[in-house]
Structure 1
């Protein structure tokens, strides 16, 4: 489904990003694994096979991101897909949220996503083809008490996705968002049993999601099977109500 497509995935070293990398590799893609831990990425690339290429850099460092895309342009020559997956979440009431913590989440969740999409679309526009999938969040779509800063950063990604989709559709580049709900990852590992029960009571399908649920949708949106889909924010939340 993704045969020989070159796909860059941020935060590919764990959780949703790692599962997306596994699925894309199985579907025939050449996967560029982005993350900060070079040794960890090397191990993952070895596990995934010769079509997985580690790219260690800080996604929130403007100059490192530029250098990474320069490497893609010079040594690979094309980019068919981008998955803006890497993210940061800190929970706190509005009155207890430090502006530094707000900025930190905006840097990773919003600014880094924007810069990656900006540089990716330059390559894709020349090809007249390409697909970008931004990881949004149900919290950015519906809000959640105690997570205003995170919701702000993710709501911005949803708006960015729709605006960029309109701008780049005439150039053959599709841009969509995927908004996970309560997914079993490191981000939700610290939830107490009581918190989990409360959340599950508001999920229509009655269970947590898993990383495969998200990765299957992302890989579809990257593929030519989704060639007439752009500008959408698609929930993967089991019918979750916040």
Structure 2
């Protein structure tokens, strides 16, 4: 894929890659010629990685020891070549409001969504060099006051971690950016209430939900040399949902009521 220069033959780690966005990214990166180490807490991936350059390894991102094991594996197999990239895609949600969320659920979401990314950066940045890239997967919830308290908080925190990484590792030539997907059709969003899906469509100017490959394409771009001077950037992939900030819904209601009044 000429659109993703600098990936062929290089190694990239993708977390949360057993299915959904992570699997889509792993397959897209492999298609661009990268060696992809796909990780997830699941024992086996739901995605089919056969006949690709994707290697699957089990990893609980909230487990510091697991990251140490992965770093040791990469150190032994990289042959002195720097690790090209880390895509921190692993994430979980918990749809509970602030007044109702249990401490254990709060801790679990932040452990995976924020601490997991931090541990990954700590463990793998020493294997990176000039031209390497860290990409964190945030959410439109990290740009708004979305109601799931723990999930929203975790994605806002991930924004801060991204900017810290961009600042700290920039002198080594390592870039760090964050993507903010909107409502993407994956297994995680499949259980969303019907009212949430309807509302999302009403609030999204492109008037459709997103696909995992659309997020994967932006991740691949940021991991590639095509984005060689991009660091500290936050990129929504949400059909203008956060850009519109509800204005679409308001405009549609005004137009609808105006048409009704004139009929």
Short-chain TM bin:
over 0.9
Distance 2:202 2:22 in 1: 27
Aligned to 1:202: 203
1:97 aligns with 2:101: yes
Residues in 2 aligned to 1:107 and 1:178: alpha-carbon distance in whole angstroms: 19
Q: Structure 1 segments of 4 or more deviating over 6 A?
A: none
Report how far residue 70 of structure 1 moved: 1.1
**Residue pairs, 1:126-205, within 5 angstroms:** 127-145=129-147, 147-205=148-206
TM-score by length of 2: 0.86
Partner SS state of residue 45, structure 2: helix
- Please identify the structure whose Cα radius of gyration is greater: 2
Residue among 65, 80, 85 paired with 2:84 = 80
- Partners of 2:92 and 2:98 in 1: how far apart? 17
Would you say 1:68 and 2:73 are equivalent positions? no
Instruction: Determine helix, strand or coil for the equivalent of 2:9.
Output: coil
For the 8 Å contact 2:45–2:56, the answer to whether it is kept is no
1:56-101 Cα distance to aligned partner (Å, 9 max, x none):
1221111111111111112224311100001010011111100111
Distance 1:76 1:16 in 2: 25
Native 8 Å contact 2:18 2:44 kept in 1: no
- 218-227 or 28-37: which moved more? 28-37
Measure, in 2, the Cα distance between the counterparts of 1:194 and 1:37: 30
- CA offsets 1:146-180 (integer angstroms, 9 cap, x no match): x1111111111001101110111111000000000
Equivalent in the alignment of 1:123: 127
Tell me the matched-pair count. Answer: 236
- Kept after mapping to 1: 8 A contact 2:131/2:228: no
| Residue 106 of structure 1, aligned match among 99, 104, 110 | 110
CA–CA separation in structure 2 for the residues paired with 1:83 and 1:195: 28
| Contact in 2 for aligned 1:13/1:44 (Cα 8 Å) | no
| Corresponding residue for residue 40 of structure 2 | 35
Aligned to 2:24: 19
Q: Render the CA deviation track for 1:11-51: whole Å, top value 9, x for unaligned.
A: 1110000000111011111000111233337x73324x2x2
Verify the 8 A CA contact 1:38 1:54 in the aligned structure 2: no
In structure 2, list runs of 5 or more residues that go unmatched: 247-263
Q: Are the counterparts in 1 of residues 113 and 154 from structure 2 also a CA contact under 8 Å?
A: yes
**2:23 match: secondary structure:** helix
Note the residue ranges of structure 1 that are not aligned, 5 or more in a row: none
